[in-house]
């Protein structure tokens, strides 16, 4: 009976949190169009589901990255299962992104409960209103999958403090190995967690904390070393990834003006959480909370805030940076901010009258936001969030071309990566810029039309906007 009562009291807050999130993302969460990186990953995963490419040698298209080693392959392998069992609908891309978000949300709740706190919806709310987090929820980034493994590692280590110590430390390390197979070296920042716990909470000696760190380190690397030693195909795949992506990023790729850009981006993303923390500090001064209570929570909060920073600062090593690289750190910033503000939340809710009219109004607001968010998300599912004309033209052109074909394109179009991705994603069609090799079909932009390009081809009249399709004369 008590659990039923607690559920009815807390459910409106979870629905309110979910509702706010759905209202924010409703125009994009199921709409047509996706960020380029996520679209490429969808294409690679779909190909893998159809037996095109292998786990250790994924395939993008026959003419563009036929051996896709820009990242380790685990996320593609996991997502391919969704295509294999649920089909190839464009909605699968978005479903998988949302699936990773839900799993990470559940892990955040588990960590929060392990720390002994109530009101688990609160860190979830802070996490979900982080702009890059809700943007990633519908753009199929590898960081979405990576965040599952880095968050699980922290959860397993916390479990190791209660029982089955070495088993859970083993799991903590294994999940980081899986994280490496998802996005590489950026997965290893949770190695710092045992030392951070010792530094602020002193519940173990330094030597025991260092030993825990060493064990997580070993259990993270040992499976990877075994893969490399026992399976040459895995060794070649990972070596190609390191050469093409990691080393080149450190040496030559530049996407930002300063190594500190990622820090600036971090603070802009955490603006909602920082605003809530400032409000908390004001309330602490007004309400005069117990210094002991706020001090204890401050120490715990610092553990998770610094853990988040260890997931951010290593990005500064490279001048190739993007805001979504640090998505795996945001759950820990949310937990840290939630812990810091917990005394205020607890003081507000411990005296709450759950039978009052005010709570009843909030309850219906929560339900209303949640169902409105679902309705709006479904309503916008047939809208376009990006690449409107390109996607419409793709849908008009693809029925004319046999699945799995290779077609010619104007060489100037080869750098249009999203065009490669849409044709590959929806019908496994590859785009060949080598006009010396005559294919059955030629695709050009309207503005590039010339008799020289279209000689020996007949135009196929379609209701397209930017592109024209031609078929070779026989």
Q: What's the distance, CA 12 to chain centroid?
A: 27
Over the stretch 37-95, which tens digit does the pLDDT of each residue have? 999 999 999 999 999 999 999 999 999 999 999 999 999 999 999 999 999 999 999 99
Query: How confident is residue 358, by pLDDT bands cut at 50, 70 and 90?
Result: confident
Name the band, by pLDDT with cuts 50, 70 and 90, for residue 458: very high
Percentages (nearest 5) of helix, strand, coil residues in the chain: 70, 5, 25
pLDDT at 227 over 50: yes
Where residue 294 falls among pLDDT bands split at 50, 70, 90?
Answer: low
169, burial (CB in 10 Å: exposed 0-12, middle 13-18, buried 19+): buried
Residue 421: closest CA among 83, 151, 76, 59: 59
Q: What is the dihedral of CA 357, 360, 362, 365, to 10 degrees?
A: -130
Please state the φ and ψ torsions of residue 167, each to the nearest 5 degrees. Answer: -65, -45
- Please state the domain extents for the chain: 32-351, 388-472
- The pLDDT > 70 percentage for the chain reads 96
User: Whose CA is closest to 107, among 384, 328, 354?
Assistant: 328
User: What DSSP string describes 433-445?
Assistant: --TTS--SEEEEE
Tokens (6 digits) for 128:
């979900």
Comparison of pLDDT for 196 and 10, the residue scoring more: 196
3-state secondary structure of 161: coil
Mean per-residue pLDDT of the chain:
91
Q: Residue 328 half-sphere exposure, CB side, CA atoms within 13 Å?
A: 33
**pLDDT over 90 at 429, yes or no:** yes
Instruction: Identify the band that residue 343 occupies on the pLDDT scale cut at 50, 70 and 90.
Output: confident
Is there a contact between 100 and 148 (Cβ–Cβ < 8 Å)? Answer: yes
pLDDT value of position 290: 55
pTM: 0.94
Q: What is the dihedral of CA 81, 223, 305, 166, to 10 degrees?
A: 110
Residue 443 tokens read as: 């695709």
pLDDT in tens, 86-141: 999 999 999 999 999 999 999 999 999 999 999 999 999 999 999 999 999 999 99
Residue-level length of the chain: 474
What are the structure tokens assigned to 355, written together?
């039978």
Give the pLDDT confidence score for residue 148 in this predicted structure: 98
Give the pLDDT score at 451.
Answer: 80
Which of 175, 152, 167 minimizes the C-alpha distance to 224?
A: 175
Distance from the Cα of residue 444 to its chain's centroid: 34
Q: Please give the residue that has the higher pLDDT: either 288 or 262.
A: 262
For residue 291, pLDDT over 60 is answered with no
15-24: pLDDT as tens digits: 999 999 999 9
Look at residue 3 and tell me whether its pLDDT is greater than 70: no
- Nearest alpha-carbon partner for 148 in 125, 167, 171, 176: 176
pLDDT, residue 101, reads 97
**Angle formed at CA 352 by CA 349 and CA 353, multiple of 5 degrees:** 160
CA 260 – CA 163 distance, rounded (Å): 41
> Helix 330-349 vs helix 291-310: angle between axes, to the nearest 10 degrees?
160
* Separation of alpha carbons 269 and 327, rounded Å: 10
Q: What integer is the mean pLDDT of 416-433? A: 96
Band (4; pLDDT cuts 50, 70, 90)? low
Q: How far apart, in whole angstroms, are the C-alpha atoms of residue 267 and residue 275?
A: 11
Beta-sheet strand order (sheet of 430-432): 430-432, 406-409, 441-445, 467-472, 457-460
Please report the sign of the dihedral spanned by the C-alpha atoms of residue 122, residue 127, residue 128, residue 129: positive
Tell how strand 441-445 and strand 467-472 pair up: antiparallel
To the nearest 10°, report the CA torsion of 233, 37, 176, 224: 10
Residue pair 63/81 in contact (Cβ under 8 Å)? The answer is no
Neighbouring residues of 355: CB distance < 8 A, sequence distance ≥ 6: none
HSE on the CB side for 303, CA within 13 Å?
A: 24
CA angle 409, 413, 417 (to 5 degrees): 110
- Asked if residues 332 and 310 have their Cβ atoms less than 8 Å apart, the reply is no
pLDDT at position 288: 63
The encoded tokens of residue 104 equal: 């990470």
Q: What does the pLDDT look like over 298-339, one tens digit per residue?
A: 889 999 999 999 999 998 888 888 889 999 999 999 999 999
């Amino acid at each position: 009976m008590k659990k039923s009562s607690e559920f009815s009291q807390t459910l409106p807050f979870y629905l309110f949190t979910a509702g706010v999130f759905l209202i924010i993302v409703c125009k994009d969460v199921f709409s047509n169009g996706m960020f380029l990186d996520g679209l490429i990953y969808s294409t690679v995963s779909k190909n893998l589901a159809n037996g095109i490419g292998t786990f250790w040698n994924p395939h993008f298209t026959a003419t563009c990255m036929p051996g896709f080693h820009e990242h380790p392959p685990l996320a593609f392998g996991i997502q391919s299962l969704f295509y294999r069992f649920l089909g190839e609908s464009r909605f699968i891309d978005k479903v998988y992104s949302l699936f990773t978000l839900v799993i990470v949300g559940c892990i955040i709740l588990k960590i929060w409960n392990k720390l002994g706190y109530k009101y688990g919806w609160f860190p979830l709310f802070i996490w979900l209103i982080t702009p890059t987090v809700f943007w990633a929820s519908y753009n199929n980034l590898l960081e979405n999958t990576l965040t599952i493994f880095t968050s699980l590692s922290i959860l397993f280590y916390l479990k190791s403090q209660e029982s089955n110590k070495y088993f859970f430390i083993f799991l903590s390390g294994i999940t980081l190995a899986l994280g490496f197979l998802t996005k590489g070296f950026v997965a290893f920042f949770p190695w710092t967690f045992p030392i951070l716990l010792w530094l602020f909470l002193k519940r173990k000696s330094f030597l025991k904390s260092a030993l825990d760190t060493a064990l997580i380190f070993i259990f993270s690397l040992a499976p990877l070393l075994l893969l490399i030693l026992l399976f040459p195909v895995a060794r070649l795949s990972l070596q190609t990834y390191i050469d093409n992506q990691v080393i080149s990023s450190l040496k030559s790729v530049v996407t930002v003006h300063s190594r500190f850009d990622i820090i600036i981006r971090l603070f802009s993303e955490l603006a909602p959480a920082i605003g809530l923390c400032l409000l908390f500090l004001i309330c602490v001064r007004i309400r005069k909370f117990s210094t002991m209570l706020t001090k204890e929570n401050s120490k715990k909060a610092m553990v998770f805030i610094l853990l988040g920073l260890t997931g951010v600062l290593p990005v500064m090593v490279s001048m190739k940076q993007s805001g979504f690289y640090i998505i795996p750190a945001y759950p820990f910033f949310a937990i840290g901010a939630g812990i810091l503000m917990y005394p205020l939340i607890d003081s507000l809710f411990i005296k709450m009258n759950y039978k009052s009219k005010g709570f009843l109004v909030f309850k219906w607001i929560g339900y209303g936001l949640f169902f409105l968010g679902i309705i709006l998300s479904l309503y916008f599912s047939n809208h376009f969030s990006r690449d409107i004309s390109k996607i419409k033209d793709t849908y008009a052109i693809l029925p004319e071309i046999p699945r799995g074909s290779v077609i010619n394109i104007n060489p100037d179009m080869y750098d249009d990566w999203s065009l490669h991705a849409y044709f590959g994603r929806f019908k496994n069609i590859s785009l060949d810029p080598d006009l010396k090799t005559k294919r059955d079909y030629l695709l050009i932009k309207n503005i590039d039309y010339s008799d020289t390009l279209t000689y020996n081809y007949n135009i196929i009249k379609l209701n397209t906007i930017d592109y024209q399709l031609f078929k070779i004369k026989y």
